[in-house]
Amino acid sequence: MSRTYDILGKVGDEQAFRQEIRDWLAEHMPRNWRTEWQQVRGSALKTEIVKWLEARRTVGLGTPHWPKEWGGPGLPFSYQIMVYEELSRADAPEVEMFIISLFHTPATLFEHGTPEQKDKYLSGIIHGTDIWCQGFSEPGAGSDLASLRTSARLEGDHYVVNGQKIWSSGAAHADYCLLLARTDPNGKRKHDGISYFILDMKSPGVEVRPINQITGEAHFAEIFMDDVKIPVANLIGAEGNGWNIAQSTLSTERGLLIFGEVERLARSFELDGQAARDTWMRDVQFRREYAALYGELQTVRLMIRKLLIELEANPDKASPTLPTYIKLTWGPFLQRYTEFLLRAEGLETQKWQPAIPGTGHSSRLRFNDFLNSYGWTIAGGSNEIMRNIISERILGMPKG
């Protein structure tokens, strides 16, 4: 018989709070979920994720980073960190299909949405009804996002949108899209004249084309918009203020999201070493490489911890440069580590297998993890652009 859990009632006692989460996860985490989720996609995968989210929601862990007024538990930031730390340590499934829904959309609407927009859209997220995607990047506006050319022209009570977006995660299954479009092409700066909209993905004129990846998956997609009508009520914030609002959206990637990703890999890193005690760990050179990679991993973890401490103290005064360094350290490290495991474990691991949703970069399918690691070369801004930002804005070097 299942016991009754009171995770939120343990707030104030960190040890008891952690233990209650651990006990609940030990009893309620889906059994053999990696094997089962590896076999499902599309609506079947959504059903499994929603079941897991609903189980978490019953004990206050569905949206641990949300405030009480919008259905969350209102946890202090330090307790939010503990939640995601314990989920990672327990190897609980990630909710990849709902990342934009659970993080990016609420971060945008909490701060900039109207009461009507919050009432209409947030409940669908909490209960897993709606999936959201993000329509930011374009073929000619990736790292230089402010160069976007998708246009939105006001006509009466709606905007008419034309353009193309690319690299939109989960767009093939999305119900709504956080969309950036240019409403004024004559702004003094390219950052001016950009507005922020909620796009219903079922609107006439919207076409989604999945992008097949080297792993055989199609996590990303292109979005084409041909005279798509978006009601004025779906404008978030003031017209022309989209660039500033987008910073609220993107800020979600700076904290708990990257924290959970790295903590999950740290757990996998430890398991890799334990499993290799009688194989490649016996090789001196492999041991040296593993130890060096361990040092790099701890560097990334410490930088993220520092950022989280700053965010907890004052989100508005957290380092604007630290996320750039984290991104430039994490991506190359992930590529080196996954390549190391391919070499160390040999040809047996160098084969294609169906991806395991919900595992991030820690599926332990060596070839898949290696191939997926290269997404970080461009995710969040290409490494080349990030290095330019460091040299010009942080170090004060002249533009090349």
Could you write out the three-class secondary structure of the chain?
CCCCCCCHHHCCCHHHHHHHHHHHHHHHCCCCHHHHHCCCCHHHHHHHHHHHHHHHHCCCCCCCCCCHHHCCCCCCHHHHHHHHHHHHHCCCCCCHHHHHHHHHHHHHHHHHCCHHHHHHHHHHHHCCCCCEEEECCECCECCCHHHCCCEEEEECCEEEEEEEECCCCCHHHCCEEEEEEECCCCCCCCCCCEEEEEEECCCCCEEEEEECCCCCCCCEEEEEEEEEEEEHHHEECCCCEHHHHHHHHHHHHHCHHHHHHHHHHHHHHHHHHHHCCCCHHHCHHHHHHHHHHHHHHHHHHHHHHHHHHHHHHCHHHCCCCHHHHHHHHHHHHHHHHHHHHHHHHCHHHCCCCCCCCCCCCCCCCHHHHHHHHHHHHCCCCCHHHHHHHHHHHHCCCCCC
Question: d(Cα 323, Cα 107) in Å, to the nearest integer?
Answer: 18
Main-chain dihedrals φ then ψ at residue 395, nearest 5 degrees: -90, -10
pLDDT at position 392 over 90: no
Q: Is the pLDDT of residue 254 over 70?
A: no
Residue 379 tokens, joined: 């995710």
Residue 225's pLDDT is what?
A: 98
Assigned token pair, 311: 């965010």
Question: What is d(CA 244, CA 228) in angstroms, rounded to the nearest whole number?
Answer: 24
pLDDT at position 33 is 96
Q: What per-residue confidence (pLDDT) applies to 324? A: 86
What domains sit in the chain, N to C, each tagged with a CATH number? 8-92 (no CATH), 132-240 (2.40.110.10), 255-394 (1.20.140.10)
Task: State if pTM tops 0.75.
Answer: yes
Q: How far apart are the first and last CA of the chain?
A: 67
Query: Which pLDDT band holds residue 53 (cuts at 50, 70, 90)?
Result: very high
3-state secondary structure 112-146: HCCHHHHHHHHHHHHCCCCCEEEECCECCECCCHH
For residue 47, pLDDT over 80 is answered with yes
Contact 136, 104 (CB under 8 A): no
pLDDT above 90 for 323: no
- Residue tagged active-site, from 20, 253, 261, 263: 253
Asked whether 43 and 51 are in contact (CB, 8 A), the reply is no
Lowest mean pLDDT among 116-130, 144-158, 174-188, 251-265: 251-265
Average per-residue pLDDT for the chain: 93
Q: Please give the average per-residue pLDDT across 265-284, as a whole number.
A: 96
Q: HSE (CB half, 13 Å, CA atoms) of 105?
A: 29
Query: Where residue 103 falls among pLDDT bands split at 50, 70, 90?
Result: very high
Q: What is the pLDDT of residues 339-386, one digit of tens each?
A: 999 999 999 888 888 999 999 889 999 999 999 999 888 887 788 888
Residue 82 predicted with pLDDT over 90: yes
Lowest-pLDDT range of 107-111, 139-143, 269-273: 139-143
Structure confidence at residue 314 (pLDDT): 86
How many whole angstroms separate alpha carbon 231 and alpha carbon 228? 10
What share of the chain has pLDDT > 70, as a percent? 99
pLDDT greater than 80 at residue 255: no
253 is catalytic: yes
Given a cut of 90, whether residue 230 has pLDDT beyond it is: yes
Instruction: Answer with the residue of higher pLDDT: 64 or 315.
Output: 64
Checking if the pLDDT of 301 tops 80, the result is: yes
To which residue do tokens 């203020």 refer?
Answer: 241
For residue 143, is pLDDT > 80? no
Report how far residue 52's alpha carbon sits from residue 47's, in angstroms, rounded to the nearest whole number.
9
Angle at CA 261, nearest 5°, toward 260 and 265? 110
* Farthest-apart Cα atoms in the chain, separation: 72
What share of the chain in percent tops pLDDT 90?
A: 76
Q: Which residue has the higher pLDDT, 288 or 397?
A: 288
Residue 317: pLDDT over 80 = no
Give the list of residues 6+ apart from residue 69 with CB closer than 8 angstroms, or none: none
